[in-house]
Amino acid sequence: MNSSRSSVHRGPAVRPLAASLGLLLLAGCGPKDGAKEYADGMAAYEVRSLEKAGRLFEKSLLRAPENVDALVMLARVRADLGQIADAERAVARAAALAPAAPDVALLDAEVAFYAKDYARAARGFSAVAEDPALQPEAQALGWTGLGIVEMTCDRRDFARIAFLRAIRLDRRNASARYHLGLLYRGDAYGYLEAALEQFEVFVRLGEKADTRAQYAQRKIIPGIKADIARRAAERPGARRRDESAASAALQRADAAMKKGNAKAARGEYEAACRADVLSYPAALGLAKAWEKTDTTAAGRQRTLDCYKAACSLRPGAVSTFLTAGELAAKLGQHATAVELYSRAVAANPADVSAIDGLIRALRKVGNQSKTADAYQRYRDFVSARKAK
């Protein structure tokens, strides 16, 4: 199942049901006849001999027409071969026999996705995702599928929320990790460090022989690391770094701050930043020094700019993002606050302070009430999970 219109250019995508055959109980009661053909079909499917697998599942169904397991696998084979109309007929037969089976519902939604019936796909995935009677791992598959639909429809926040829900329900859900990585890596967000984290976890979860994991390890992860390094190298002054001079200035700045001389400290932090534009401690110290020494409108803006610079140097520093987001909101720069809080959520998706800040900021900008409501539901979900 492709995650976006451009995913084919980034390597193989991951289907939300890729791991589900061994996770969910298939809906059928077990073949009374055609057992050998079914077993042989499964063996053929495992080695991606799809045409052969399809013939074997059809033979199994000739002997046991109500074997839902065989219908599910036949539908999957047809979908894998791009025979969407045939896949829809097979999954419809399975759904008629086992309307409450989650594996059938998930496959029906996936086939709808291939048919570009995104509304039906979203309804099907949502039904599984929001069914409290199901195991968390099964619900996670529903959220993953829904996230892929939202991602395809260019609804980035709704896709992210769905993937984050899937991961909180099942931290071993490789498909959600992969697609969240794609989402963060792409133009929708451009959060390279967050993307790198998801792909690295995806590789650890995958089998060594998994071509998707191999592709991520060989191509995607090195590419992201190269992009991160290039961004750092392109900062003005990055080629003239003097780390020893920066360290000396930092020591003087910290000493001045301890003595309560924030103005002197500010000068030393500025010197440290000039000496090493990639120094996070220097950038953060400078932001704090400006905060203490200048409360004018211009000074507060300079403070925010310094905090933003520090955030860009350490994308995982949640507390710094929260401080910067709060200051941006106080200055009435709500779009900036949205971005800062959004990055904090990427760094720690379970931080309710970050989620709350994002919700508040979204409600202050135009036409974002539905997005804010979606994050509120995610926030309530996170709190409920923590309470268990």
Tell me whether residue 362 is in a domain.
yes
Tell me whether residue 289 is in a domain.
yes
Under the banding of pLDDT at 50, 70 and 90, the label for residue 325 is very high
Q: What is the pLDDT of residue 33?
A: 77
pTM: 0.89
Tell me whether residue 101 is in a domain.
no
Q: What is the pLDDT of residue 386?
A: 85
Position 296 pLDDT exceeds 60: yes
By the 10 Å C-beta count (0-12 exposed, 13-18 middle, 19+ buried), 158 is classed as buried
Q: What is the pLDDT of residue 206?
A: 81
Tell me whether residue 345 is in a domain.
yes
- The DSSP-derived string for 322-383 is HHHHHHHHHTT-HHHHHHHHHHHHHH-TT-HHHHHHHHHHHHHSTT-HHHHHHHHHHHHHHH
Mean pLDDT of the region 335-353: 98
Q: What is the pLDDT of residue 208?
A: 66
Compute the mean pLDDT over every residue in the chain, rounded to the nearest whole number.
91
CA distances from 361 to 156, 160, 328, 367 (A): 17, 17, 9, 12
Tell me whether residue 145 is in a domain.
no
Q: Please work out, in degrees rounded to the nearest 5, the angle formed at the alpha carbon of residue 122 by the alpha carbons of 121 and 125.
A: 85
Tell me whether residue 286 is in a domain.
yes
- Nearest Cα residue to 250 out of 229, 271, 226: 271
pLDDT, tens digit, 9 for 90 and up, residues 364-374? 998 999 999 99
Q: What is the pLDDT of residue 388?
A: 73
Count how many domains the chain has: 1
Position 20 pLDDT exceeds 50: no
Q: What is the pLDDT of residue 304?
A: 98
Position 312 pLDDT exceeds 50: yes
CATH number of the domain enclosing 368: 1.25.40.10
Tell me whether residue 353 is in a domain.
yes
> Which structural domain, as residue segments, surrounds residue 366?
278-387
Mean pLDDT of the region 184-208: 93
Q: What is the pLDDT of residue 190?
A: 96
- Nearest Cα residue to 192 out of 216, 161, 228: 228
Tell me whether residue 380 is in a domain.
yes
- Nearest Cα residue to 78 out of 102, 47, 107, 103: 107
